[in-house]
Amino acid sequence: MDDHASFARRGVARFLIGTLAALCLAVPVLASPEATPDEKHEAGRVAKKVKKARGTAHPAEAEREALQHFQAEVAEYAEFHNKLLAQLGSREETVAAQKALARAIRTKRAKARPGDIFRPEVQPLFRRLLAEQLTGPDALDARKAILEGNPTETGDSIPVQVVVRVNAVYPPGASRSTMPASVLATLPPLPAPLHYRFVDRDLLLVDSVAGLIVDFLPAATPDLTIK
Residue 224 lies in a domain: no
Residue 103 lies in a domain: yes
Residue 227 lies in a domain: no
Residue 115 lies in a domain: yes
CB-based contact 141:48 (threshold 8 Å): no
Task: Please tell me whether residue 198 adopts helix, strand or coil conformation.
Answer: strand
Upstream peptide bond of 193 is cis (omega within 30 degrees of 0):
yes
Q: 201-218 burial by CB neighbour count: b if 16+ within 10 A, else e?
A: bbbbbbbebbbbbbbbbe
* pLDDT reported for residue 153: 47
Domain holding 191, by residue range, is 2-217
Domain count, the chain: 1
pLDDT for 18-45, tens place per residue?
Answer: 444 444 434 443 444 555 666 555 666 6
Residue 54 lies in a domain: yes
Q: Mean per-residue pLDDT for 140-144? A: 92
Residue 223 lies in a domain: no
Phi then psi dihedrals of residue 35, to 5 deg: -70, 150
pTM value is 0.72
